[in-house]
Amino acid sequence: MSVRYADPRVRVDVDDAAGRPTVVWLDNGLLRIGAVPDLGGRILSTTYAGIETLWRNAGLLDERLHPVSGHVPTPIGGSLGDWVNYGGDKTWPAPQGWSGPGEWAGPPDPVLDSGAFDWSVEELGDGSVRLVMTSADDPRTGLRLARAVTLSPGHHGYTLRLRGTNTSAAPVRWALWNVTQRCAGEVGTGGVDVRVGLPGPDSGGPDVVPVIEGTGLPRHVTIAPDMVHVPHQDVVGKLGFPTATGWLSHASGGITCTLLFTPDPTGAYPDGGSRAEIWLEHPLPEPLAQLGDLDPPDRIVEVEVLGPLADLPPGTSTELTIKFDHTREEGA
Write out pLDDT tens, residues 176-195: 999 999 988 777 766 679 99
Q: How confident is the model at residue 154 (pLDDT cuts 50, 70, 90)?
A: very high
Kind and range of the H or E element at 273? Answer: helix 270-273
Gap between the Cα atoms of 205 and 243, Å rounded: 7
Write the DSSP string, 196-221. Answer: EE---S--SS-S-EEEEESS-----E
Cβ neighbours, 10 Å, residue 18 = 4
C-alpha closest to that of 321 among 195, 149, 151: 149
CATH architecture of 2-325: Distorted Sandwich (2.70)
Alpha carbon distance 210, 271 (integer Å): 9
What's the predicted TM-score (pTM) here? 0.95
| Digit-coded pLDDT (tens) for 23-58 | 999 999 999 999 999 999 999 999 999 999 999 999
